[in-house]
């Protein structure tokens, strides 16, 4: 077998996604971690998948769930394959994609970084997720910075999210994004959202009020590979109480430190504690923000398709 050192991973597109891209129809990429056992608990994960894909289709776009199945990187899944991504999974960030293919993982659940990379490879300009990773608190000592931020800086994709998880160092996350040249836009909003709450108390560098402006921001980038981040606040009716959430977060982070939980394990640990402390209210909030993000992403994708 001959190996080509300049070869890069090319994902397999579903027939629907391939046709949509060929015909100039809007497409929105989705991650699969949120839908697996690593994301929302059952049956909320299935509800999230149904609501996100329905929201995208209702706006005239095609959903493209990303995943690694049977050692093949996929962009777009058939309905008959949805059950496979609702169960046990191995988390696949961008760095893990090559390993997941080489080792033929049964199901690698794609994170934000992996999904952005696969979307870019497939020629998809818009990706929707719940919230991105960022700079962790104490990163000056641990160096713990999410690969999501590097992916945003190196793939020309518009990422639509509800900001970053509130237990991260959001001020440093925004500083990092400025350093690597990623435009951060507030969707009809002046504040950077903090996932379960509409505002982190930090202003976004730029407010944007239309999908056309978002697309134009990507198209006028100064670097070939830089993406755009769009922060969409959770709908007001689904927002959690900020003061209560702050108390829960500090308690959960203290428990993390005592238990020695670090790295990728922090996110599921803290989210689990939030779900317990809010008596499950965080799960409906998560569903609402994920579906809302998908809806906004579809609107942007339709504008992108129309402007080609």
Catalytic residue among 91, 94, 165, 295: 165
Any idea which residue has 């500090």 for tokens? 250
Helices 112-122, 94-102: inter-axial angle, 10-degree rounding: 80
Residue 233 to residues 153, 164, 204, 269, Cα–Cα distance (Å): 22, 11, 12, 23
pLDDT tens string 134-192 = 998 888 878 889 999 999 999 999 999 999 988 899 999 999 999 999 999 999 999 99
What is the pLDDT at residue 6? Answer: 61
> What tokens appear for 40 in the block?
């929302």
pLDDT tens string 257-289 = 788 877 667 777 777 777 777 767 889 999 999
H helical segments located in the chain: 15-23, 44-58, 94-102, 112-122, 139-142, 147-154, 170-179, 211-219, 242-259, 266-277, 282-306
Q: Answer yes or no: 178 catalytic.
A: no
Q: What backbone phi and psi angles, to 5 degrees, belong to 65?
A: -70, 135
pLDDT tens string 238-264 = 999 888 888 887 788 788 778 887 766
Q: Answer yes or no: 31 catalytic.
A: yes
What average pLDDT score do residues 114-140 get?
95
User: Residue 238: how many CA atoms within 13 Å on its side-chain side?
Assistant: 18
* Collapsed DSSP state (helix, strand, coil) of residue 243: helix
Q: What backbone phi and psi angles, to 5 degrees, belong to 163?
A: 80, -150
What is the pLDDT at residue 78? Answer: 94
Q: Which residues of 127-149 are buried (b: 16+ CB within 10 A; e: fewer)?
A: bbbbbbbbbbbebeeeebbbbbb
CATH H-level, domain 12-306: superfamily: Indigoidine synthase domain (3.40.1790.10)
pLDDT at 4 over 70: no
* Collapsed DSSP state (helix, strand, coil) of residue 282: helix
Task: Report yes or no: 273 and 280 within 8 Å, Cβ to Cβ.
Answer: no
pTM: 0.93
pLDDT tens string 40-77 = 999 999 999 999 999 999 999 999 999 999 999 999 99
> What tokens appear for 194 in the block?
């903090």
Q: What share of the chain is helix, strand, coil (3-state, %, to 5)?
A: 50, 15, 35
Q: Categorize the per-residue pLDDT at 81 as very low, low, confident or very high, splitting at 50, 70 and 90.
A: very high
Residue 58 to residues 54, 132, 227, 275, 276, Cα–Cα distance (Å): 6, 24, 25, 30, 33
pLDDT tens string 199-237 = 999 999 999 999 999 999 999 999 999 999 999 999 999
Q: Categorize the per-residue pLDDT at 1 as very low, low, confident or very high, splitting at 50, 70 and 90.
A: very low
Give the Cα separation of 235 and 270 in Å (integer).
22
């Amino acid at each position: 077998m001959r190996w080509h050192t300049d070869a890069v991973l090319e994902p397999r597109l579903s027939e629907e996604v391939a046709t949509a891209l060929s015909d100039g129809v809007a497409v929105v990429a989705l991650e699969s971690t949120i839908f697996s056992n690593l994301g929302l608990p059952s049956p909320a994960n299935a509800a999230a998948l149904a609501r996100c894909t329905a929201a995208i289709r209702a706006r005239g776009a095609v959903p493209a769930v990303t995943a690694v199945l049977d050692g093949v990187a996929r962009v777009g899944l058939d309905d008959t394959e949805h059950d496979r991504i609702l169960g046990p999974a191995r988390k696949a960030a961008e760095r893990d994609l090559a390993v997941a293919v080489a080792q033929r993982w049964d199901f690698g659940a794609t994170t934000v970084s992996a999904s952005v990379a696969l979307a870019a490879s497939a020629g998809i300009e818009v990706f929707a997720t719940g919230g991105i990773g960022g700079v962790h608190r104490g990163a000056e000592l641990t160096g713990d910075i999410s690969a999501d931020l590097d992916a945003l800086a190196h793939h020309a994709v518009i990422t639509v999210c509800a900001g970053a998880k509130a237990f991260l160092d959001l001020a440093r996350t925004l500083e990092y994004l400025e350093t690597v040249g990623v435009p951060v836009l507030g969707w009809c909003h002046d504040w950077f959202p903090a996932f379960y709450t509409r505002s982190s108390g930090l202003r976004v560098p730029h407010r944007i009020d239309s999908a056309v402006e978002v697309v134009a921001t990507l198209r006028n980038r100064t670097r070939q590979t830089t993406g755009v981040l769009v922060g969409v606040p959770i709908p007001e009716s689904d927002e959690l109480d900020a003061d209560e959430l702050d108390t829960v977060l500090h308690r959960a982070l203290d428990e993390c430190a005592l238990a020695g939980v670090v790295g990728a394990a922090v996110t599921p640990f803290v989210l689990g504690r939030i779900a317990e402390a809010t008596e499950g209210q965080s799960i409906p909030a998560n569903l609402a923000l994920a579906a809302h993000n998908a809806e906004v992403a579809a609107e942007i994708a339709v504008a992108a398709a129309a402007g080609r």
